[in-house]
Structure 1
Amino acid sequence: MLVHVTVSGRVQGVGFRYTTQQIAIKYNLTGWVQNQPDGTVELEVEGNKSSVDTFLKALEDSNNQFIRIDDMNVETLKDNKDYKSFIIK
C-alpha cells in the first residue's frame, strides 16, 4: 500500500520530519518526507496496509509538544514505488 499525505499545522521547524521518519522506521515503512514552500509537509509512505494505518494514527498522536497537526489529507495511490528506505528530503 502506498499513500501520499499532505499535513498542515505547526509542522515545519519543530522536528516533524524527523518524528515522521522515526515512526516510519518503527513500523518498517519506506518512502520520504519533505517541507513544502506553503508551510505544509508532504510525504509518501509505503508498506502493508496495517502498518500504514498504524503509522498514520501514530503520526496524529505524536507526543512532540511543538508539533500541531491541523489537517492530514491522505490519498491512496494505485502503484507501489518500491522505496528502499524512508528518507527526509
Structure 2
Amino acid sequence: MRKVRMNVQGRVQGVGFRYMTKMVADELGIKGTVRNEEDGSVSIESVGDDEAMTQFIKKIKDSPSPAGRVTYLDIQEDSMMEEHMNFKVIN
C-alpha cells in the first residue's frame, strides 16, 4: 500500500475539483481525504495499492475536473499517514 500526500495548485477551487477527485478515488479504490486550503490550493491524503495510486496521481495531474487546471503538484510519500475507511471531501 502506498500512502501519498499531495498539494495541488492551479485552477482547483470552485470548479468541482474535490468532488471529481472523490469520484476518481472511489472508482480506483483509493481511501483518504481531499480539502480546500486557504491559499487556493487543494490537499489530498490518499492510500491505495501501487497500480491504483499511479493511476490516481496521473488523473490528478490531468485535473479530474474538466474546468480545472493543475499548474503544480507536490507529491510526498508518508508511511505514517493514518488509514481511512473511505474517501471523503472535507470543508
For 2:24, the equivalent position in structure 1 comes to: 23
In structure 2, do the counterparts of structure 1 residues 4 and 14 end up closer, same or farther at CA, with 3 Å as the change threshold? same
For 2:77, the equivalent position in structure 1 comes to: 76
Aligned AA for 1:12?
Answer: Q
Aligned AA for 2:7?
Answer: T
Aligned AA for 1:2?
Answer: K
The secondary structure found in structure 2 opposite 1:59 is: helix
For 1:55, the equivalent position in structure 2 comes to: 56
Aligned AA for 2:29?
Answer: N
For 2:14, the equivalent position in structure 1 comes to: 13
2:8 touches 2:43 (CA, 8 Å); kept in 1? yes
Q: Report % sequence identity.
A: 31
Taking only aligned residues, the RMSD between alpha carbons, in angstroms, comes to 1.3
Cα distance between partner residues in 1 of 2:88 and 2:74: 20
For 2:42, the equivalent position in structure 1 comes to: 41
For 1:32, the equivalent position in structure 2 comes to: 33
Number of residue-to-residue matches in the alignment: 89
Superposition TM-score, scaled by structure 2 size: 0.91
2:11 touches 2:69 (CA, 8 Å); kept in 1? yes
State the Cα distance separating 1:60 from its structure 2 match.
2.0
Superposition TM-score, scaled by structure 1 size: 0.93
Cα distance between partner residues in 2 of 1:80 and 1:50: 19
Deviations 1:29-75 (A, max 9, x none): 10000000000000100011111111111222246331010000000
